Structure 1
Amino acid sequence: MLAGGRSSRFGTDKAAAPYRGRSLLDHARDLCELWTDATIVVGRPGGAPDLPGPHLGPLGGIAGALDHAVRHGFTSVLTIGCDMPNLPADLLKSLLRRSPSYCVDAPVVGHWPAALAPALLDHIATSTRRSVQGWARAIGALPIASPAPLANINTPADLMAL
């Protein structure tokens, strides 16, 4: 799963922001393709929808990815954001060893069992908090620290600093 990511701080679609001659989304997609059997972009035209609807933040994207996985016979989902083009390989290896697990430094980066799709939709419907880390703790996901600092692109200045 890749998050679609729009940001007014960019004044346009953040996923389309150029980095090393290609969009952030293209970099994120390439990264996922190294570690997964299939890649789906969530929350963008042509991809899977956020669930149960738009504007729910990362939990809606994860719910959309889990639903897509269930409907297509996948047992788990690796999630990243489109605004994190340089995730350490050691972090992804650690996440993929156990499901559920998540990166404590960037909770949207995680490995989730597809079977949790209904539980996440229930959590979204009943919880007032939309925290990925809160949900991860509630399901007993293993917290994993990144072995290196993570770049999270939220502004044009963040992108220029890479």
Structure 2
Amino acid sequence: MSGLLGAVLAGGQSRRFGSDKAAALLDGDTLLAHARRALAPHVDEVVVVGGIDGLPDLPRPGLGPLGGIAAALDHAATHGFRCVLTIGCDMPVLPEPLVKALMQREPSFCAEAPILGLWPAALGAHLLSYLEVAPERSVRGWARSVGALPILSPVPIPNVNTPTDLTALAEAMLVTS
């Protein structure tokens, strides 16, 4: 590998899901465990940000995914990682062609799901500053501010936001098994 940290963002409020979606079961395992496994082949190490046992968001809780990305960038910089590949805990499957495309340019992110991105660890200070002054706290807004390249996914990315999404993904996995 080449100094890549993987970070699964698991600190959301799961409003649409109705309960902690990181702990929701898919094919006998949690969504968080699926996301960790999907990320692991592409990085040197995987950390969880948010949730009960994850790294705490920076600079404080309540900043959405950018607080999680800031924590991951800080962890990467202080532990010698060059870049961070981020995904949400609600992304149990990563399309291989999309990951390969993201790895070709840093910073870059998935246009359809911007939480999936490759971010140089050196952007941590910029993100912390952005969080303090920017009126818009979206991943897309920050990505634009650092010149990140949006990459279109060649295939649909399974994303679990509701119990219905989870049921549909489970049924689709049964069909392809």
TM-score, structure 2 length as denominator? 0.88
1:8-19 to 2 correspondences below 5 Å: 8-19=15-26
1:2-44 per-position Cα deviation (integer Å, ceiling 9, x unaligned): 1113313333211000011100000000111111000000012
- Alignment root-mean-square deviation, CA: 1.0
Question: Of residues 131, 134, 137 in structure 1, which corresponds to 2:144?
Answer: 137
Q: Which residue of 2 aligns with 1:2?
A: 8
Q: Confirm or deny: 8 A CA contact 2:23 2:31 kept in the other structure.
A: yes
Letter of the 1:104 partner, please give it: A
**Partner SS, residue 39 of structure 1:** strand
Counterpart-to-counterpart distance in 2, 1:126 and 1:41: 26
User: 1:106 Cα deviation (Å)?
Assistant: 0.3
Q: Which residue of 1 aligns with 2:54?
A: 47
1:108-133 per-position Cα deviation (integer Å, ceiling 9, x unaligned): 00000000000000000001111101
Q: Confirm or deny: 8 A CA contact 1:102 1:111 kept in the other structure.
A: yes
1:68-118 per-position Cα deviation (integer Å, ceiling 9, x unaligned): 001101010000001011120110111112110000000000000000000
Q: Report the identity percentage.
A: 57
Q: Which residue of 1 aligns with 2:43?
A: 36
Q: Confirm or deny: 8 A CA contact 2:111 2:152 kept in the other structure.
A: yes
Question: Of residues 27, 30, 39 in structure 1, which corresponds to 2:34?
Answer: 27
Tell me which moved more, 8-17 or 24-33.
8-17
Q: Which residue of 2 aligns with 1:98?
A: 105
1:66-105 to 2 correspondences below 5 Å: 66-105=73-112
Counterpart-to-counterpart distance in 2, 1:18 and 1:143: 31
**Partner SS, residue 83 of structure 1:** coil
- The yes-or-no answer on 1:59 pairing with 2:66 is yes
Counterpart-to-counterpart distance in 2, 1:103 and 1:92: 9
Q: Confirm or deny: 8 A CA contact 1:6 1:15 kept in the other structure.
A: no
Q: Confirm or deny: 8 A CA contact 1:95 1:111 kept in the other structure.
A: yes
- The yes-or-no answer on 1:126 pairing with 2:133 is yes
Structure 1 gap segments, 5+ residues each: none
TM-score, structure 1 length as denominator? 0.96
Q: Confirm or deny: 8 A CA contact 2:59 2:128 kept in the other structure.
A: yes
Report how many residues are paired.
Answer: 162
Counterpart-to-counterpart distance in 1, 2:16 and 2:113: 20
**Partner SS, residue 14 of structure 2:** coil
